[in-house]
Structures are given as C-alpha cells and as structure tokens.
Amino acid sequence: MRNQSEPLSHSIGTTHKKAGYCGRERLGTLLDSYGILVIILVLGVVFAATAPRFLLPQNIANILKQISVVAIMAIGMFMVILLGGIDLSVGSSALLSAVVTMYLINHNYAPETVAIPIGLLAAAAVGFINGFMVESAGISPIIVTLGTMIAVRGLAQTILWIDNSWLWVKDPALLFLAQKNFGFLPVLVVLMVFLYALFMVILNQTRFGRYLYAIGGNQRATYLCGIPVVRFKTLAYTLSGLMAGVGGLVLVARLSAVSPAVGNNIQFDVITAVVLGGASLSGGEGRIEKTLLGALIAGMIINYLTIKGIPGPYQSAVNGMIILGAVILDKLSKARS
Amino acid sequence: MRYSGNHVSRQRVGHIMQVYGLLMMGVVLVVVFAALNKDFLTFVNLETILEQNAALAIVSVGVTFTIIAGMFDLSTGSVVALASVVMALVVQNSQSMVMALFVAATVALACGLLNGFLLSYGGINSVIVTLAAMIWSRGIALGVTKGDSVPFASPLVDFMNARSVLGLSPIVLVIGFSYVLGWFALGHTRLGRYAFALGRDVEATKQAGVNTDLYKLLIFMTSAFFVWLATVVTATRMSAGVPNAVYGLEFDAIVAVIIGGSSMTGGEGSIIKTIVGVLFISVLNNGLSTMGMRDSAFYLYKGAIILVALFFEVMSRQVLRSGGTHVAAVGAKG
C-alpha cells in the first residue's frame, strides 16, 4: 500500500534537485533506510560485545522507554523541519502542557478527561503562535521559537510557582500510560509506535502529507499551484506544539512530578533524532519512520555510555558530536551517489 | 510585486518604524524602569548595565558578521564557558596569565575553525554545526570541572575590576575597542564587504571570483576572536572559570543583532544597529532583574518583549517592502 504513494510524494519533494527516475529513486530510498539500519546493527553488535548487559530484554525495554518522549516530540519536529523550519520551543511547550494539566487536576478544577485536552491545547496554541509569527509575519523560525522558548518557559514556571514550583503526578491514567506494561511491552512504547504508525499514514498516504513534502521541496512552486502554503505550515507548527504537549505529559508521568526544569534543553535531543534520521534542515527531505530510528540510535548511544559509567556532561558532549557525525556521514553518502 | 495606492507614504511609515521603532521601544522601557526604580537612571547603574552585559556586547560584534553573511552562530555562549574554564585551569596550574590568555584564544579559535570548516568546506547548515558545538562544548566544560567553578587570582583580575582607568572601567573600554574594531572590519575591509556579498547571494559571490568557502571560514574565525575577548572579560570579572556561565548568551546576541535591524536572512546590517539592539537587551536584562522579580516572571516578560520587538521590526520591514507575498519570507537557511 505505502509503496504506491511513496514515489509520488518523494519525487514531489525532490524534483527541483534531480530529475527523478522512479525506479532509481526507490532504490536510493531503500538504500537510505538500509544504511541507517546497518548503523543500528553495527552499534548493537559493538555495544553488546563490549557491554553484555546491553542486550538484556530489560535493558532493551528500558532504551525504548527512554527514547519514547523524545521520539514522540520528534514527530512534530520532523514535520516542521520537513518544511525548512525549526522549533526550539518544544521543551517549553512540553512543560506548559504538563503544568496546565497537573494544575487543573491537583486543584480539582477539572477532571483528567478535561484537564489533559486543555493542557494539550495550551501546547498546541504555542505551536500556532510560532506558526503565525513565522508564516504571517515572516520572521525566521529559529528566532521566533527562541522567543517563545524563553517566554513560554517563563509562563509555565510562573504558573508552577503557585504550587511552590512542584506538582506531584498522581493521576491514574497518566501513570498507567507512563509506568505500566502490556506484558513485556511498556504502554509508553505502544503509544509511541501507535503515534508513529498514525503519522506514517498521514504523511505518506494523505494529501496533507504530500503537500508538506511539496512545500518543503519548493515552497514557491507549491504556492503558485494554488495550495494554501501558509495554512499548511501553520498547521505543521501547531502539530509540533501538540506533540510536544503529549511528550510533556508522558515525561512528567514518568518522573511522577512536574518541576521547573522539565523539558529543559530536550529540544536539542529532539532535533538530534530528526537529523540522525536523515532529514535535511533545508526541508523537503526525510522520512518519518527514519526519525524513530534516529531517536533509537541516540538512545542506544546514551544508554551504552550510562552502562559504561560515563558522567552526564560528557554524554551530552558525545550527543553534540553524534549530530555532527550524522550530518557528515549524510553529506559523504550524498556526495558519492 | 504588487503596489498599493499610497505606496510612498507607506514606505515612509515603514522607514520611520525601521529607524526609530526600536529606539522608541527602548525609550519606553527606560521610562518604565526609571519610574519603577529610582536608582535605574544613575551613572553607576548605567555603567553596571554595560559591565553586566559585557559578554553580550562583545560577542554581538562577531554575531553581526555571521548574521550579515546569512549564517547563524549558536555556539558563542558555550564556547565562552569552555574557554573560560580552560583559561582558569591554566592559571591555577601554571600561574601564568599570558599562557592562559594564549590557551583561551587557542580554544576559542579552534572551535571557530572547526565550525567554519564544517559549514564552508563541509557544506553543512550553520545552524546544525553550531548547535552541535553549543552542546558539545558546554558538555566538555561541565565534564572537565564536574560542574564546579574554577576560581583563580591574577593581577589582570584586579586591573579589570578596578573602576578608574581614564575615568572608565576597563571592561567598558574593551567593549568600546570591540565595536571600533568591528566597525572598521565591517565597513573598511575586504572581509566586511564579502560578508555582505555572501549574505545577499552566495552563488553570485562565487561567480565573481571570491573564495566563498575561505571567507565563510574567516567570518567564523572573526566571531571566535570576539568570543575570546568575551571569555577574557567574563572570566576576569568573576575571577573564575564558570562552566554554567553566560547561559543563553548565544540567543541574546542573535536577538540583539536582529532586533537592532540587521536582516535575519543576511546581506543587511551594521555595527550601529547592533549597538542599539545590545543596549535594548541590556536595559531589558538589567531593568527586569533590578525589579526583584522571580526568574520565571523575568523570562516571561523578557520573551514577550523580545517577540513584540521582533514583530515590529519585521512588520516595519514588510511595510517598507510594500507588498510581496508571504512566500517571499522563507526562513533563514544558513
């Protein structure tokens, strides 16, 4: 099913770069996905050989749980990066949705069925503001989302300050989501896989997805085709905010508490996942399923470093270098083909 | 291009907003802060504002170059932290300030060289390269020191913190020196001319026979030089290398340059505009923090005011262009 629409959406995204032969492109796409799987396999073998604990089922479930928050937020980031934008505000939106939701629940202002949607709406609203400022005012996305990153974190911390900067998460639904297992699989991982499946369909099968690739590939041409570019881009930013909100709720449920530092700097991990997944920062290129693999690579490396007892700051230093390594590898492979 | 009927007057409004908009907002801020805090408008506080924001002021000169050339440097704050930590460690271990200054310069310039090399000869987006550098250099700074600051003592520290060189603090003099140097390099050297050319059209610049890769590299080395100056000022002001220092400096600097009126897609800008932007952010930082508010409220107001300033800056630019579709406003791609 998916393969039928894949060459179409893919070639729309890249026609301005290379005149596409569908067959060759499909082969190239296959090799691309294959490449990232090879990296995962090689890393897996090396890590398992040097740290036997790495391949224990317990540890693998642990890795999947650890990457889930970043991976969920990376869905939104992927769409924004596909459009040639970037969203630095996702960490702050995550905190905002968590604070709003837990504030409403803990003060008994609203039941969880109302509070959770309101929290998600708050995060989506941040995304909408980003999209509006980027699209309608024409400000560079990096600057806009930087501004909202600062302002929204300030707003969320101000609300959190009412409760002395600490809110416990005791809501059973959220705790079930973050801390329980379906047999072997954590519920959280099931949620992550479900969201990826959903967005794979949306991005690869629907008109919305095709338009996103088209806009990322050549914004002006898409606009001249009569497609409401501004509306679609604003929607992508809004979805990025929404996914950040989902990630924020899951994150605080895993931690069992909301503190002012929740989600601080998580945007860099999210961007790392998307870039490791091979998406181009100039837009129009990348696959959502590879973003998940990108998050997995980063998660494996961090997990391995933790097993080996490397302290946190060095882990983040390694994280920075992984981004560079991934982009350089990507450049090299493109230069060869 | 579509032209509206009263094209000329719209342009004039846009021009006035462009030139005076931020100054007016700045004046409003100063009036508000002065009304709320009677110590705000004293000479001592004005000097303090400059000293507190010295790193921002100095780094912004280099950031002006990168933004005019159509690129982003997100690594400045982290590299200041890394270089100041290394500098402090060298002073602690060798007692030689000259040696420490030299090593700090090496660290800063090496980071600039690596970034510049990757984004010019490697052809990688400047946002990604410098974002990675921002993460790894802060990580190393925190890792080497285990998160603790590294205190040191030196005659240079006493000198920099003395208040009376020619009636001005040495830190203010270093800031002045940076701006004169930046103004000269931007307006009167080949480096400055090519920065503008790169920001307008990289391909055309290349066609004109300019070694664009080399000049991109040199522009990042220029930024690294100002990062080094900022490192020296930051470390001597605190008489320590602090791995958590100047957190968010890179963002403040970029915002200062852009709300000052330099174009975020490159090709336009000046040192004077940067001065206005830096003063605005500095007044904002100082004014908000002397009002004694919590960190959370501080960030809320700061972010909101920055967004409003940005909005006006960009709207004035659009009014000035008097038309053009939304599609023309594609995000900056380094």
Pair type for strands A185-186 and A181-182: antiparallel
Complete domains list, chain A, with CATH: 2-336 (1.10.3470)
Q: Residue B319: is its pLDDT beyond 80?
A: no
Say how far apart CA A163 and CA A165 lie, in whole Å.
Answer: 5
Chain centre to alpha carbon of residue A19: 30
Partners of residue B297 in chain A, C-beta under 8 Å: 154, 158
Say how far apart CA B213 and CA A237 lie, in whole Å.
Answer: 33
pLDDT given for residue A288 in this prediction: 94
pLDDT given for residue A22 in this prediction: 53
Answer yes or no: is B225 within a domain: yes
Q: pLDDT per residue over A56-100, tens digit each?
A: 988 999 999 999 999 999 999 999 999 999 999 999 999 999 999
Handedness of CA B208, A218, B127, A135 (dihedral sign): positive
pLDDT given for residue B317 in this prediction: 73
Partners of residue A148 in chain B, C-beta under 8 Å: 303, 307
Q: pLDDT per residue over B254-288, tens digit each?
A: 989 988 888 888 888 999 999 989 998 998 888 88
Say how far apart CA A251 and CA B166 lie, in whole Å.
Answer: 55
pLDDT given for residue A330 in this prediction: 75
When divided into structural domains, chain B yields a total of: 1
Answer yes or no: is B238 within a domain: yes
- Domain of residue B242 covers 53-293
Q: Determine, for residues A142 and B332 on separate chains, whether the beta-carbon distance falls below 8 Å.
A: yes
Q: What are phi and psi of A181, to 5 degrees?
A: -120, 145
Q: ipTM of the assembly?
A: 0.79
Confidence band of A1 (pLDDT split at 50, 70, 90): very low
Answer yes or no: is B39 within a domain: no
Q: Residue B7: is its pLDDT beyond 70?
A: no
Work out the mean pLDDT of chain A and round it to a whole number: 87
Kindly state the average pLDDT of the residues B106-118. 96
pLDDT given for residue B163 in this prediction: 65
Kindly state the average pLDDT of the residues B8-35. 74
Listed ranges A122-126, A206-210, A283-287; the one with the highest mean pLDDT? A122-126
Q: How far is B93 from chain A (nearest CA, A)?
A: 23
Work out the mean pLDDT of chain B and round it to a whole number: 86
Answer yes or no: is B75 within a domain: yes
Answer yes or no: is B333 within a domain: no
Q: What is the full DSSP assignment across B127-176?
A: HHHHHHHHHHHHHHHHHHHTT--EE---HHHHHHH-S-BTTB-HHHHHHH
Answer yes or no: is B261 within a domain: yes
Q: Which of B202, B242, B284, B326 should one mutate to test binding to chain A, selecting the residue with the greatest count of A CBs within 10 A?
A: B326
Q: pLDDT per residue over B58-94, tens digit each?
A: 999 999 999 999 999 999 999 999 999 999 999 999 9
Q: What residues of chain A, 71 to 110, have a C-beta less than 8 Å from chain B?
A: 84-86
Partners of residue B260 in chain A, C-beta under 8 Å: none
Listed ranges A18-27, B2-11, B284-293; the one with the highest mean pLDDT? B284-293
Q: Do B133 and A320 contact (CB within 8 A), yes or no?
A: yes
Q: Residue B40: is its pLDDT beyond 80?
A: no
Rg over CA atoms, chain A: 20
Q: What is the full DSSP assignment across B289-300?
A: HHTT--HHHHHH
Residue A294 contacts by C-beta under 8 Å, 6 or more apart in sequence? A36, A74, A272, A273, A274, A275, A276, A277, A278, A326
Answer yes or no: is B31 within a domain: no
**Torsion over CA of A111, A114, A120 and A123, rounded to 10 degrees?**
-90
Answer yes or no: is B307 within a domain: no
Confidence band of B37 (pLDDT split at 50, 70, 90): confident
The CA distances from residue B313 to A114, B21, B49, B319, in Å, are 39, 7, 24, 10
pLDDT given for residue A29 in this prediction: 59
Kindly state the average pLDDT of the residues B180-200. 95
pLDDT given for residue A124 in this prediction: 98
Q: pLDDT per residue over A22-60, tens digit each?
A: 555 565 555 565 778 888 898 899 999 999 999 898 899
Confidence band of A312 (pLDDT split at 50, 70, 90): confident
C-alpha angle B300-B305-B307 in degrees, rounded to nearest 5: 95
pTM: 0.84
